[in-house]
Every structure is written in structure tokens, then in C-alpha cells.
Amino acid sequence: MSSIIEKIERLIRPEIKEMQAYNVSEATGLVKLDAMENPFTWPEQMKSQWLELLAQVEPNRYPDSTAKKLVQCLRSCFGISSDLGVVLGNGSDELIQILIMAMKEGTCVMAPTPSFVMYEHIANALGVKFVGSPLSEDFSLDMPAMLEAIKTHDPAIIFLAYPNNPTANLFEDDDVLEIIRASNGVVVIDEAYQPFADKTFLDKAQDFEQLLVMRTVSKLGLAGLRLGYLVGHRSLIEQFEKIRLPYNINTFTQLTANFAFQHIDVLNAQAKLICEEREILFKKLSVLEGLQVFPSKANFLLFSLWSDSAQRVFEELKKAGILIKKMGEGQGLPPECLRVTIGSSAENERFFDTFKSILK
């Protein structure tokens, strides 16, 4: 006789049972260089002012459901035209979910591979077909293959991470524009790492009705807030706004983001410092034998080991108190790949010295 659990499990969609949960590594007590976070805290005076504001919050009340002040602050801070619509998400992950949920049954989602894993993960969770179009060996877009895939599958949504994660490179502007023009559906330019790339398609959002630009404030130094925003033509944004859950941006996030964007110069200075540290670490890794480190326009470096095991190096670094990211096999990357987030100068030096002593 079947148990209640067995009966309930039969109600769960088969594709959900086949999925693996998205796991986040435990980092307590470790130098955390695995999640592309900003390593810098706020100046003490700025932190004190923020805490004074938090004390005024009434947590017994619902937040502003449309976060009007926050949207206006985003427009002012990042130069978003009043002609464009903005929808907010609890991180860019929720925005990806909203986009895919809005599309008709039987459509598909497409992205170059390897790319941000949540495009495929969320599509699978919603029972939507995901089509990956492999990048070229140099991580550029394989345009003949990509255009053929668009023609064959006619995707409802194409996600282009710009810069790409995990390869850290920017795609050629002309290639991106060609994909936008070839698509019958929505093309989402995911600019999660824009603070470190100094390039954007936001200025093109008014030129193409099918173009959406998505950003998160996580990499800028506000990962704990879980805030993302999507920009595009108002008529299109209005459709996604319909299925955004009410109160998805909580009061503390709204207040903190508003405050932080009034001090955008502090966040921008930190992003500039991270870029400087990235180039220092890139040069130091580049002279080591036995690996290839790839150029980056993000706040992390991807590198491939030629004569060592990524698993061994990952474990030895962890034993030494440093957590980086071991890339999975079969993702369209070279073998034995690791990814390290750019930390503070001291963290980067500790990582490099330890890595150098470990590397065979």
C-alpha cells in the first residue's frame, strides 16, 4: 500500500524529480572568493547613517508594492529614460522566472552555452524547453550556429549575459545586434557585471521593441538585498508587471537601495578598485606555468589547469581556508576549470600565494 509521501511524489512533475537543487557552498570561516561578491564594506559614517534610517522602518506594515521611490532612484542613478518601463525583481533570478512564466506553452528559451546556469535551471523548473547554442572555442558567439538555432527553434526568449558568466568576456556588439534583429521573441541582455565592464546596451533599449536589459545590484556591493531590475518598452514591461508578485521588494531592501544609490560614488569607487585588483591578479596568474587564465571584463577570473586536477586544487585551497568555485564538467569549458572572485588586495594575495604553493 502506498504511503502518503509516495502518493504526493507521484503528483510532482517528472522534470522536477530529475533536477538537482542549486547548492550554495558553506563558507563559514573561509576567505569567500566563490560567489562574485563585492568584498568591501561601507565607510563607517555611511553605515551609521543607514542604521539610523533602518530604525525608522515599521516592519508591521507592508512595503510600497510598486517601490515608486526606488524606481525613480534607479532612473536617476543609471540614466533610465522616462519613456522606458521598469519592473523590479527579488534578484535577477525572479525576473528570469517572471519572463519565462509569461510566455506561451510550447515555446522555448535559448542562451549561448556555457552561460548563467539559472536560465536553464528556471526553464526546466517551469517545464519550458531550453536550447543551448555552444560558444566558439574563444568564447565568442558562434554566429552561424546561433542564427541557425534561432531559425530552427524560434525561441520566445534569448538570454545573452554581457559580460558572460562564467567566461567573463563581452560579446561583439555587432553580433548581439544581429541576434536582436533575427529574433521574433524577446532578447534579454543580462548586465549583471556591467559595473566592471563599462559597456551597456541600455542606450539601445528604445531602439528595439524586443530588447530588454536586465541588471542586478548584487555585484555592485548589495548582494544581501536581492534586487534586480528589468528595463524595456513600456508596453512589454507592463505584461511582466502583471505577474510580479505584490510586495516582492521588501521595505528594508527599498530603503537600503535608495540610500545606497544616493552614495553611488562609493559603490563606483569600489567597482573601480575591484577592476584594478582584477588586472593585478590576472598578470600574476598569467606568468605561472601549467594553466591558462582568461581575460575578464567581470569581477572574477576563469582559469584552466593543464597539468593538475581542479578538484585537488579546489580541496587544497579549501583546507587552507580559501573557497573558490570549481566549474562542472561538460559545460563547454576547457577541462579542469576553476573560477575565482576578485577580493580585497589582502584576499587576492593570500589566494595567489596559496594557489602558487599548491599548483603542481
Q: Is residue 52 a part of any domain in this protein?
A: no
Place of cell 536582436: 180
Across the chain, what does the average pLDDT equal?
A: 94
pLDDT score at 46: 96
The larger pLDDT score, comparing residue 8 to residue 116, is at 116
Q: Are residues 240 and 104 in the same domain?
A: yes
Give the tens place of pLDDT for each residue, 198-218: 899 999 999 999 999 999 999
Residues above pLDDT 70, as percent of the chain = 99
pLDDT given at position 330: 62
CB 92 within 8 A of CB 192: yes
Residue 48 lies in a domain: no
At 108, give phi and psi (nearest 5°).
Answer: -135, 165
> 49 lies in a domain?
no
Q: pLDDT tens for residues 300-317?
A: 999 999 989 999 999 999
Quickly state the pLDDT bin for 1 (edges 50, 70, 90). Answer: low
pLDDT at 298 over 70: yes
Side-chain-side CA neighbours of 134 within 13 Å: the count stands at: 8
pLDDT at 17: 81
Tell me the C-alpha distance between 253 and 222, whole Å. Answer: 9
Domain ends where: 208, 242, 263? 263
pLDDT at 83: 94
What is the spatial distance between Cα 166 and Cα 240, in angstroms, rounded to a whole number? 27
Per-residue pLDDT tens over the stretch 8-26: 888 888 888 887 877 777 7
Domain finish residue from 263, 285, 310: 263
Looking at 234, 263, 292, which one is the last position of a domain? 263
- Using CA atoms, how far residue 98 sits from 116, 164, 183, 241, in Å, is 16, 21, 20, 9
Give residue 323's pLDDT.
97
Check whether 239 has a pLDDT greater than 70: yes
- Mark whether 340 and 191 lie in a shared domain: no
Lowest pLDDT segment from 3-7, 93-97, 107-111:
3-7
For the segment 105-110, the average pLDDT, to the nearest whole number, is 94
Instruction: Retrieve residue 208's grid coordinates.
Output: 528595439
Q: Are residues 270 and 248 in the same domain?
A: no
Stated as kind and residue range, the H or E segment containing 18 is: helix 14-18
In-domain check, residue 50: no
Mean pLDDT of 56-62: 95
Domain range holding 132? 58-263
Both 80 and 207 in a single domain?
A: yes
> Which amino acid is present at 295?
P
Does residue 53 lie within any of the structural domains?
Answer: no
DSSP conformational letter for 204: G
pLDDT at residue 286 tops 90: yes
Residue 257 has pLDDT above 80, yes or no: yes
Given a cut of 70, whether residue 118 has pLDDT beyond it is yes
Q: 204 and 119, same structural domain?
A: yes
Q: Binning pLDDT at 50, 70 and 90, where does residue 219 land?
A: very high
Q: 51 in a domain, yes or no? A: no
Question: Considering the entire predicted model, what is its pTM?
Answer: 0.94
Distance, CA of 203 to CA of 197 (rounded, Å): 15
CATH number at residue 319: 3.90.1150.10
Pair 132, 158 in one domain: yes
Q: Does residue 10 or residue 131 have the better pLDDT?
A: 131
pLDDT the model gives residue 245: 95
Identify the band that residue 28 occupies on the pLDDT scale cut at 50, 70 and 90: confident
Number of domains in the chain: 2
* Residue 159 in domain: yes
Q: Quote the cell numbers at residue 31.
A: 576567505
pLDDT at 360: 80
